Structure 1
Amino acid sequence: MTVSDPGSSSLLLRRAGIDTYQQPVVYMHRDCAVCRAEGFAALTRIEVHVGERSLVATLNVVVDDWLPTHEAALSEAAWNRLRPQPGERAKFAHPEPARSAGALRRKVFGGRLDDDDYRTLIEDVVGDRLSELELAAFVTACAGDRLDGVETISLTRAMLEAGERLDWGAGPVLDKHCVGGLPGNRTTPIVVAIVAALGHRIPKTSSRAITSPAGTADTMEVIAPVALDLPTMRRVVEHEGGCIVWGGKVRLSPADDVLIRVERPLDFDSDGQLVASVLSKKLAAGSSHVLIDIPVGATAKVRSDGAADALAQRLQTTADALGLRLRVHRSDGRQPVGVGIGPVLEARDVLQVLRNDPGAPVDLRERALDIAGALLDMVGSEGRQRAKRTLDSGAALAKFMAICAAQGGFREPQLASFRHEVVTDRDGTVAEIDNRRLARVAKLAGAPLSASAGVDCRTRIGDELRRGEPLFTVYAASQGELDYALDYVAAQPGIVALQEPTV
C-alpha cells in the first residue's frame, strides 16, 4: 500500500487504555469516514500504518459518542507496538490475505501439513496476520491426537526458526521443565539455584500461568524481577550461571506466546502443541541437556501411565530429531506438592526449602532434589547426593539470592490479608485430593492476577482427620474474592475426599 498525505483517509490516534492482553485492537466509530469507505465491520482484520511502522490488528466498532469520528483508539498492545507521537495520525487498509489460509483450512478439515506449511503458518502467527478466530481454529484442529509425530517435529522446528536462538558457547547448558497440572509444584527456583551453585549453566525461561493458579514466572516475580530483555538475561547468566526469567519478554519462541494467548481462554492444550511449545523454547534458549518432569495422577494433566508413555515418546522423538539431549522423569501426580498454591504462597514454600527452614514442605524439598539430581546425572554422576549437599550447606540459597540481585533485587513475599479455613465436617482418612478443583479454588480467589491469593493445603493422602480439623485455607486480597471462592467450595464437596473410619 502507498501511504499518501494525511487527509480524510487518516485518523488521529488516541490511547484507549484497554488491556487486550497481547492482541492488538483498533477502535473506530461506525460513522467515521474510514470505516465507511473501506467497508470495515466489527472483527475485521485491518492494517495500520503510522509513519514507517505498521501492524495488523482486529477492529472493534464503537456505537456511542465516547470516540469521535475523526479519531481511532488503540488498545495497550497496539499502542505499545506502534508508539505513536502526540498528534500523529494513522492510515488504514485491508491487509493481504494470510499466505497460510489454505494450510489452515486443510488442517481444520483433518489434513496433514508439511514443513513448509507449518513454516508459513508460524510466520503468519508471528506477523499477526491471523485473527483470534483463526488461531483458535488452529489450536483446536491440533488438539487430541490430530497432530502426529512428524507434524510435531515440523511445528517445533517452525516455532524455533521464527524467533531468536541463544548460543552460550561450548559445554553443556542444562534446563528442566514440568508439563504441569499439579498445584504448587514449584521446583524450578530450587533446581536452578542448586545446579548453578554447582557451576553449571542453567538459563531458565519460564511461562506465566496458562490454566493454573501460578506459573513459575508468576511465582518468581513476587521475589525478583523476571521481565528481563535478552541482553540483561545474558549478563545474569554469564555472571551467576543461571536465571529465572519470563519467556514472554525475551521472545525466544514468539509464536508460542501467541498460541498461549489463545490456549488460555480455551483452557486446554494438546500433546503435540505442548511438545512444540516446550522444546522450541528450550532449543531457542540454547539448552543442550533437558529434563522433563511428568507428574502422573487421576487429576493431574497426565492422568495415566499410558498417557505418560505416549507423551514421553513424543518428547523423545522430537528432541532426537532436533539434536537435543532429553531425559523424562516421572513423578507422583496424585496430590499437590508443597503447601501453597498461588504465586506468593508458592514463593514462601520455595524460600523455606532454600533456607532449610524446619517447617519447609518436605515433599517439595525431596522432589526438587530428585529433579536436580536427575538433571545433574545427565552430565555427571551422584547427582542427588551433590544436590543435597549443596542445599544443606546453604550454597543453593546463596546462589539464589545472587541470581535475584542480578535480576534486579530480592523482595520478601507478603501474604494476603483475607483468609478462611475450610474444615472437615466428619472424621476420616484422606483418600483423594482433586488437583483440578483445588486449583480452581485458588483461581477463583484471585490467583495468579492477585499474587497473594491462593490456597494453603497442608493435608496429604493418608492423613487421619477429626471433625473440625482443617482441610485447606483460602487466601484472597479482598472479602469479595474470598466469598466467591468459598461459594465454589460449598458447591463442590469432596475436593479433599475422606474415607470413613472402619469400625
Structure 2
Amino acid sequence: MNSDADRIKLRVIRAGIDTYQQPVVYMHRDCEVCRSEGFAALTRVSMRIDHRELIATLNVVVSDLLPHDAVALSEAAWNAIQPEPDAMATFHHPEPPRSAGALRAKVFGQRLEESDYLALMQDTVQQRLSDIELAAFVTACAGERLDHGETTALTRAMIAVGDRLDWGEGPVLDKHCVGGLPGNRTTPIIVAIVAALGYRIPKTSSRAITSPAGTADTMEVMAPVELGLAAMRRVVEREGGCVVWGGNVRLSPADDVLIRVERPLDFDSDGQLVASILSKKVAAGSNHVLIDMPVGPTAKVRSAAAADSLTGRLAGTAAALGLRIAVNRTDGRQPVGYGIGPALEAMDVLKVLRGDADAPADLRERAIALTGELLDLVPGNVIGRGQALAEQTLVSGRAFAKFMAICNAQGGFTEPQPARFRADVSSQRGGVVVAIDNRRLAKVAKLAGAPVSPAAGLVSRLRIGDRVNAGEPVFSVHAQSKGELEYALDYARSCAIFDLQDIGS
C-alpha cells in the first residue's frame, strides 16, 4: 500500500452544494485519482488532509465544471474536515466497516447484542456506513423487528457515541412530543414555566425535516438556537432552562444521521423512535421526562393499540436507563394553536405567554396540562397540584419574564414578523366540521414555503364541531413570494382538508 506521501494529491475547493448531513466529494472522471484507485460514482472514499480523515461518498463530474487536479467538497464534507486555504488531499479506499457483519446479520433477521449496536453506531457517526447501508439497517429494524432488549441496547449505543451532560444532583426535567400534529408548539411555554419555578430543563429540540416547523425552527424566530455545549450549559446555569437546536450540540449524533435516512423512507419503527427520544434525554442529563403522545387518524400515532405498544416500549426502556417518565396521550385529531409555520407558531407562543385575550385557548390549556404532568413527576411534589401551579406561574407573568430572560441569554429576543403575502381559502360548501386532515393542512403550509421561509405557513381557527358556511374563509395562507402563495392555494383548493357533515343530518 502506498503511503500518503506517494499518493496523488488533489487541491481542495468548496463546491457550495448542500447535501444535508451527508459528506460528498466531487472528482472529474478523468482525474488521476479516479483512474488509479478505480473510483466510480457512489464509491465510499477516505480523504486525508494532513492527519485528518473523512469518509465520504464520491460523485463523479463528467463535464468541464471541475478541473482534473481538484476535488470539490459539499458543505457537509467541508464543515467536517475544515480544510485550510490551499489544502491538498489524498484518497484511498477505506477499510470495511467493523459493523458489516452485524449489519448483515440484522438484515437477515438475527437478534443483535449490545456490542453489535455499539459497533453500528460508532461506524454511523464516523461516516463509515453509506446511506444505502444505513437504509438497509433502518429497514431491518422497522416494524416490530427490535425487541425490548434490542431497543435498550440501541439506545445505550446512541448515548455512548455522543457527548453527555451532567447537571449534578437533583431533578432535571424534560418534555418531548412524539409529533405528527401541526402547531402543537407547547415546548417553549413549558420550558418557561418550569424554569420560572426554579427547576432545570435543558431542552434540545429538532428542526423540521418533513413538517412545516420544528421546535428549533419556531424558537429561532425569537432567539438564536445554534448554541454549542458550553454556551448551552451557561444558559441553563444562568436561567434554569433553554431551547436549543440539538443538531449543534452532538448529544446523540448517531440519531441525527439515522433520522436523515428514516424520514424519506417514512417507516414506523417503535424501537428506533424510542431509542431516538430517550438517547437524547439521557445525553442531555435529564432524569424526569414527560412524553406528549398525540393520538389520531392523521397523527404519527394513529390508534389506541399503537399508543399502548409505544407506551410499553418507552416505559420499559426508560426503566432500564434509570429514567422516570410519564406518557400523556393527547387529542391528535386536529391541530393545536392557530398558526402553522415557524413565525406563526411563535406568535401563538408569545400570545399565550403574554396572556393576550386572543391567545389560542387550546395551546394554552395543553401547555398548562402537560406542564402539570411534568411537575407531578418531581419527587416530593403533591401529585395533582402541578397543573394549578403551572397556571398560576403563567397568569402571574413569571413565565413570560423567564422566557424573555432565556431568549436574552441565548443571544437576544426578536419579535416574529408576518409574511409579505397572504390570501384566504374559503369553504366550497357549508356544514359542521367532523374531521380535519392534519397531513394535508401541514402540506399547505410547506408549499407556502415553511419552514425555509420562517414567516410562511397558514392560520386556521377552525376546529372539530365548528359550523362553516359556503364561501366562508376556513384558513389564510401566508407566503414570502407570490409564486409560493399560488402554489399553496392551488393545492389547498384541490383537496378536502376539512370533512364537513351537512347541518341537520
Report the TM-score when normalising by structure 2. Answer: 0.97
User: Which secondary structure does the structure 1 equivalent of 2:475 belong to?
Assistant: strand
Distance 1:414 1:338 in 2: 17
User: Which secondary structure does the structure 1 equivalent of 2:4 belong to?
Assistant: coil
Count of residues in correspondence between the two structures: 501
String of CA shifts for 1:156-203, please: whole Å, max 9, x gaps.
010011111111011000000010010000000000000000000000
User: Which secondary structure does the structure 1 equivalent of 2:116 belong to?
Assistant: helix
User: Which secondary structure does the structure 2 equivalent of 1:364 belong to?
Assistant: helix
Aligned to 1:500: 502
| CA-CA distance at 1:136 after TM superposition | 1.3
Q: Does 1:124 align with 2:123?
A: yes
For 1:502, the aligned partner's letter is G
Distance 1:153 1:78 in 2: 32
Aligned to 1:285: 284
| CA-CA distance at 1:461 after TM superposition | 0.5
TM-aligned CA distance change 1:2 to 1:217, over 3 Å: farther
Distance 2:303 2:287 in 1: 29
| CA-CA distance at 1:307 after TM superposition | 0.7
Aligned to 1:87: 86
Aligned to 2:448: 445
Aligned to 1:44: 43
Q: Does 1:423 align with 2:422?
A: no
For 1:44, the aligned partner's letter is T
User: Which secondary structure does the structure 1 equivalent of 2:407 belong to?
Assistant: helix
Q: Does 1:490 align with 2:493?
A: yes
User: Which secondary structure does the structure 1 equivalent of 2:94 belong to?
Assistant: coil
| CA-CA distance at 1:113 after TM superposition | 1.2
Aligned to 1:462: 465
| CA-CA distance at 1:499 after TM superposition | 0.6
User: Which secondary structure does the structure 2 equivalent of 1:281 belong to?
Assistant: helix
Aligned to 2:301: 302
What is the percent sequence identity of the aligned residues?
Answer: 69
Matches within 5 A, 1:97-116: 97-116=96-115
Distance 2:473 2:139 in 1: 40
Distance 2:64 2:76 in 1: 23
For 2:12, the aligned partner's letter is L
| CA-CA distance at 1:6 after TM superposition | 6.9
String of CA shifts for 1:4-45, please: whole Å, max 9, x gaps.
3376x1101111010111111100000000000000000000
String of CA shifts for 1:46-105, please: whole Å, max 9, x gaps.
000001111100000000001010110001111111111221100000000011111111
Aligned to 2:355: 356
Q: Does 1:16 align with 2:15?
A: yes
Structure 1 stretch displaced more, 479-488 or 30-39: 479-488
Q: Does 1:342 align with 2:344?
A: no
User: Which secondary structure does the structure 2 equivalent of 1:67 belong to?
Assistant: coil
Indicate if the aligned counterparts of 1:300 and 1:435 stay in contact, CA closer than 8 A: yes
| CA-CA distance at 1:486 after TM superposition | 1.9
| CA-CA distance at 1:269 after TM superposition | 4.3
Aligned to 1:319: 318
Indicate if the aligned counterparts of 1:211 and 1:268 stay in contact, CA closer than 8 A: no
Indicate if the aligned counterparts of 1:210 and 1:263 stay in contact, CA closer than 8 A: no
Distance 1:268 1:347 in 2: 30
String of CA shifts for 1:278-328, please: whole Å, max 9, x gaps.
000000000010000101111111111111111000000000011100111
Distance 1:113 1:474 in 2: 48
Q: 5+ residue gaps in structure 2?
A: none
Q: Does 1:395 align with 2:398?
A: yes
| CA-CA distance at 1:3 after TM superposition | 4.3
Aligned to 2:374: 375
User: Which secondary structure does the structure 1 equivalent of 2:222 belong to?
Assistant: coil
String of CA shifts for 1:223-254, please: whole Å, max 9, x gaps.
00000000000000000000000110000011
Q: 5+ residue gaps in structure 1?
A: none
RMSD: 1.2
Distance 2:341 2:287 in 1: 31
TM-aligned CA distance change 1:346 to 1:465, over 3 Å: same
Aligned to 1:213: 212
Distance 2:164 2:154 in 1: 16
Indicate if the aligned counterparts of 2:425 and 2:493 stay in contact, CA closer than 8 A: no
For 1:451, the aligned partner's letter is P
Moved beyond 6 Å, runs of 4+: none
Distance 2:209 2:138 in 1: 14
For 2:78, the aligned partner's letter is W
Distance 2:23 2:16 in 1: 12
Distance 1:44 1:430 in 2: 53
Indicate if the aligned counterparts of 1:296 and 1:334 stay in contact, CA closer than 8 A: yes
| CA-CA distance at 1:426 after TM superposition | 1.6
For 1:497, the aligned partner's letter is D
User: Which secondary structure does the structure 1 equivalent of 2:5 belong to?
Assistant: coil
Distance 1:352 1:489 in 2: 27
Aligned to 1:174: 173
For residue 481 of structure 1, the aligned residue among 481, 484, 489 is 484
